[in-house]
Amino acid sequence: MGVDAISLAVFQHLFASVAEEMGVTLQRASFSPNIKERLDFSCAVFDGQARMVAQAAHIPVHLGSMPESVAHAVQAFDQLRRGDVVVLNDPYHGGTHLPDVTMVSPVFVANRAAFYVASRAHHADVGGMTPGSLPLSTELYQEGIIVPPVKLIEGGERNEGVLKLIAANSRAPDERMGDLEAQLASHRVGERRLLALVDAHGTDRLEEHAVALMNRSRRMTERLILQIPDGVYSFEDFLEGDGQSEGRVAIRATIRVDGARMTVDFAGSAPQVSGNLNAVPAVVHSAVWYCVRLLASSELPVNHGCFEPVKVDVPAGSVLNPDFPAAVAIGNVETSQRIVDTVLGALARALPDRVPAASQGTMNNVTFGGRVGGAPFVFYETIGGGHGGGPEGEGLSASHSHMTNTRNTPVEAIEHSLPVRVTNYGIREGAGGRGRCRGGEGIRRGYEFLAATTVTINSERRTIPPYGLRGGEPGQPGINRLLRDGEAHVIPGKATIQVVPGDRLIIETPGGGGWGEMEEPG
Ordered alpha helix ranges (H), 227-313 = 281-294, 304-307
pLDDT of residue 356: 97
Beta bridge partners of 446: 424, 506
Please, are residues 333 and 363 in contact by the beta-carbon 8 Å criterion? yes
- Distance (Å, rounded) from C-alpha 241 to C-alpha 250? 10
In this prediction, the residues of the chain whose per-residue pLDDT falls under 50 are: none
pLDDT of residue 520: 66
pLDDT tens, residue by residue, 290-349: 999 899 877 788 899 999 999 999 999 999 999 999 999 999 999 999 999 999 999 999
- Distance (Å, rounded) from C-alpha 164 to C-alpha 146? 14
pTM of the entire predicted model: 0.95
What are the Cα distances from residue 404, in Å, to 120, 248, 384? 14, 23, 9
pLDDT tens, residue by residue, 30-80: 999 999 998 899 999 999 999 999 988 667 777 678 899 999 999 999 889
Please, are residues 219 and 210 in contact by the beta-carbon 8 Å criterion? no
pLDDT of residue 351: 97
What lies within 8 Å, CB to CB, of 103 at 6+ separation is 85, 86, 87, 118, 119, 120, 152, 183, 184, 187
pLDDT of residue 151: 97
489, with CB counted inside 10 A (0-12, 13-18, 19+), is exposed
pLDDT of residue 518: 86
One-letter-per-residue 3-state SS of 184-224: HHHHHHHHHHHHHHHHHHCHHHHHHHHHHHHHHHHHHHHHH
- What is the total residue count of the chain? 522
